[in-house]
Amino acid sequence: MDAQAVSVVVAGLGVSGRAAARALAAAGERVVVLESADGERQRAAAGELEPLGVEVRFGEPALPGDTTMVVTSPGWRPGHPLLTDAASRGVEVVGEVELAWRLRDGSAAPWLALTGTNGKTTAVRMLTSILSAAGHRAAAVGNVGVPIVEAVGGPYDVLAVELSSFQLHWSPSPAPLAAAVLNVAPDHIDWHGSMEEYAAAKSRIFAHAGVVIHNADDEWSTRLAGPYEARVGFTLGVPRPGQLGVVEDLLVDRAFVPDPRAQAEELACLADVRPFAPHNVANALAAAALARAYGVPPDAVRRGLAAFVPDPHRIAHVAAVGGVDYVDDSKATNPHAAAASLAAYPSVVWIAGGQLKGADVDDLVRRAAPRLRGAVLLGTDREPIRRALARHAANVPVVEVPGQDTGVMDRVVAEAARLAAPGDTVLLAPAAASLDMFDGYGARGEAFAAAVRRLADR
């Protein structure tokens, strides 16, 4: 970037905004942060930035007249008045990821980047574990872990970069060594405006990638990879040349081998993938493909997957009570994620509901109907799920648990236990966000686990 001091506006005092302000100040830029909220937390953050020469303006301040660039928070929609004002003036708007790419020097660690509607964090942490098993200094950054603008100057050999559609929207330049799209399903349409715009944002991860890695079992992922010659697929089926896939109980590479038509490398066993579920095997294959693009040997893939510790609330087994397994997948905050979770179990009492954000659950319920033994609904948007169950699973008993008090989850778990029989799985996979009742999906998962433990103690 130009060493001359100029006025760069950072939109928001969130984690990425603070990181961007620090990086810009260190690069010699004159930085102004605009923050609409004015509370104790925001004032404390401003106090940390003040010694760096960063000015913070609270309220709804206008864009300064000498602004040459705006670094926006991922959560700010393109239609935000400050951003449209910048566009009308010809002021460039970028995100923290784009800023990080521009600030890195020529010797900086290469990026292995991935995106997707679901599975991003699990896959990027699997990738980091594989890279570490191969002896590389690696970090998970971007939409997970440390802000990427702080990591680009760190002591790393390679960065495992998780990117959301919001981040990609504001990032035209990054050129990762390899990039993967895990899956694409309707999500964040309220932010992007349409499914096509959402998918277009996801596709930016491929624009300058050295190797394009796509999910051959996912229509949108395959479509987005179509224009690129240097592409590699992954599949839950037997891999063709140029793909990674599954042969019996083995994860197999037929892409990063000297002769993909005649050779294959065994990477790991299905037993090395934890927690085991079909969608998690796909995550592991994507992580393995990115690692192999970087030159990681097969044995490190296996060791990395075996050492991987899943984050909480992702198809996590809580307890077995009376022959019934209780599983917390509170992270399944949209129908696509819930569908993957439901597909992992043959006989399910499903706990669902929350904030659907306009998402359609008909296809989810239709596909899951043969394995449903019961459903317990909670949260604001119970009614659309109840109607879908009536259309596609009319014989499945459904219980609605109204209310938003702290005892709701105990009643939910008690009703699920009443519907379940030995051999069933009671699965919290809400297909909806959690902020109608909880501080986040983590709090929802903790409430479920605590209620299950109380049930077990009775």
357 known member of a binding site: no
CB neighbour list of residue 184: distance below 8 Å, 6 or more residues apart: 116, 117, 198, 199, 202, 218, 220, 221, 224
283 known member of a binding site: no
235 known member of a binding site: no
Backbone angles phi, psi at 27, to 5 degrees: -85, 0
Structure confidence at residue 1 (pLDDT): 46
Contact indicator for 328, 408 with CB cutoff of 8 Å: no
Pairing label, strands 243-247, 250-253 = antiparallel
Does a cis peptide bond (omega within 30 degrees of 0) precede residue 275? Answer: yes
Query: How far out from the chain centre does Cα 42 lie?
Result: 26
Q: Which CATH architecture has domain 7-100?
A: 3-Layer(aba) Sandwich (3.40)
Query: How far out from the chain centre does Cα 296 lie?
Result: 24
Neighbouring-strand partners of residue 58: 35
DSSP codes, 415-454: HHHHH--TT-EEEE--SSB-TTTSSSHHHHHHHHHHHHHH
344 token code pair: 């992992």
Alpha helix locations (H) across 3-147? 15-26, 40-49, 81-89, 96-103, 120-133
Contact indicator for 427, 329 with CB cutoff of 8 Å: yes
Structure confidence at residue 6 (pLDDT): 54
251 token code pair: 């994860």
Backbone angles phi, psi at 367, to 5 degrees: -70, -35
Kind and range of the H or E run holding 279:
helix 278-293
What one-letter code names the amino acid at 78?
P
pLDDT in tens, 98-122: 999 999 987 789 999 999 999 999 9
- Whole-number Å distance between alpha carbons of 130 and 333: 27
- Whole-number Å distance between alpha carbons of 438 and 406: 10
Spans of the chain, pLDDT less than 50 = 1-5
Measured at the CA of 259, the angle between CA 258 and CA 263, to 5 degrees, comes to 105
For 364-367, which contacts have Cβ atoms below 8 Å and span 24 or more sequence positions? 364/335, 364/336, 364/338, 364/339, 364/388, 364/431, 365/389, 365/391, 365/392, 365/393, 366/391, 366/392, 367/339, 367/342, 367/343
The pTM of this model reads: 0.87
Q: According to CATH, where is 3.40.50.720 located in the chain?
A: 7-100
Q: Which of 122, 135, 130 is nearest to 274 (CA)?
A: 122
Structure confidence at residue 359 (pLDDT): 87
Query: For 48-71, b where at least 16 C-beta lie within 10 A, e where not — what string?
Result: ebeeeebebebeeeebeeebebbb
CATH of domain 104-307: 3.40.1190.10
116 known member of a binding site: yes
84 known member of a binding site: no
Kind and range of the H or E run holding 408:
helix 408-419
Q: According to CATH, where is 3.90.190.20 located in the chain?
A: 316-457
In residues, how long is the chain?
A: 458
What one-letter code names the amino acid at 297?
P
Q: Count the alpha carbons within 13 Å of 5 in the hemisphere toward its beta carbon.
A: 8
Q: According to CATH, where is 3.40.1190.10 located in the chain?
A: 104-307
CB neighbour list of residue 360: distance below 8 Å, 6 or more residues apart: 186, 335
Domain covering 316-457, topology: Protein-Tyrosine Phosphatase; Chain A (3.90.190)
119 known member of a binding site: yes
128 known member of a binding site: no
261 token code pair: 């038509």
CA distances from 191 to 82, 91, 198 (A): 16, 22, 8
Backbone angles phi, psi at 432, to 5 degrees: -155, 155
Contact indicator for 124, 162 with CB cutoff of 8 Å: yes
Neighbouring-strand partners of residue 162: 114, 142
